[in-house]
């Protein structure tokens, strides 16, 4: 599978999302942060805007649901055209059922963990998942500084994934930049969400390429 770079459009120009995604043709995925102003103190996209974005790009969309009721809302993002849907285990009432619903619909099922949420209680869920997302900032706002305290959890999550066959992607999200991506790659992450670093760059697609090269070098070093 290799290293994947997934720019977040949270830091893009919301009024011109189609054009903003067109600026990152080298991206593997587009990360869509869905916030409901309840689970996190911010309000962003809903299914209608995600559906419009899916029609405007051929880059696959990953909806990161930072919402209070993912069990009820997740399938709307499948219908909107997302190829991967990420739910927070802190919010999901029936995470196994939700993961199976997503997989049965033909999309990747991803489970996200906030910085203070340990991975170990959810080891038995790993066979139901395609991706685990370790948040490296508190969810809710872009541009936050990377939390180094999450690096040991990334390593522990990688070890658990390897124990279960190693087919699950390990994604990190929050404060990912040229200054932090190598540490995450060394710890075992292979999918990297970067928002501010990409969209504050003069050439966002060149930054995608640069981040991928740094992560690949860290993995092979």
What stretch of H or E contains 18? Answer: helix 17-22
pLDDT of residue 165: 80
Cβ atoms of 130 and 168 closer than 8 Å: yes
Catalytic residues: 33, 173
Q: Please tell me the least confidently modeled range out of 41-50, 111-120, 210-219.
A: 41-50
Q: How many helices (H) and strands (E) does the chain have?
A: 8, 8
Give the domain range for residue 97: 4-220
Q: The tokens of 141 are what?
A: 């706002």
**CATH number for 73:** 3.20.20.70
Average pLDDT estimate for 27-53: 83
Tally of domains in the chain: 1
> Residue 72: CB partners within 8 Å, gap ≥ 6?
none
- Per-residue confidence at 144, pLDDT binned at 50, 70, 90? confident
Average pLDDT estimate for 67-96: 96
Q: Is the pLDDT of residue 73 over 90?
A: yes
Give SS3 for 171: strand
How many Å is the Cα radius of gyration of the chain? 16
């Amino acid at each position: 599978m290799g290293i994947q770079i997934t720019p977040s459009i949270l830091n893009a120009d919301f009024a011109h999302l189609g054009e903003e995604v067109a600026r990152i043709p080298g991206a593997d995925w587009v990360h869509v942060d869905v916030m409901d102003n309840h689970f996190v103190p911010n309000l962003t996209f809903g299914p209608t805007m995600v559906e419009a974005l899916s029609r405007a790009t051929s880059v696959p969309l990953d909806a990161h649901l930072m919402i209070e009721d993912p069990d009820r809302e997740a399938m709307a993002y499948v219908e909107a055209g997302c190829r991967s849907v990420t739910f927070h285990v802190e919010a999901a009432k029936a995470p196994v059922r939700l993961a199976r619903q997503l997989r049965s619909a033909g999309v990747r099922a991803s489970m996200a963990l906030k910085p203070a949420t340990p991975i170990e209680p959810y080891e038995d869920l790993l066979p139901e998942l395609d991706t685990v997302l370790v948040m490296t900032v508190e969810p809710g706002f872009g541009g936050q500084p990377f939390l180094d305290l999450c690096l040991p959890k990334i390593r522990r999550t990688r070890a658990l994934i390897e124990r279960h066959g190693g087919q699950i992607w390990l994604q990190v999200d929050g404060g990912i930049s040229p200054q932090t991506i190598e540490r995450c790659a060394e710890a075992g992450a292979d999918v990297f969400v970067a928002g501010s670093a990409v969209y504050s760059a003069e050439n966002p697609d060149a930054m995608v390429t640069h981040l991928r090269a740094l992560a690949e070098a860290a993995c092979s070093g």
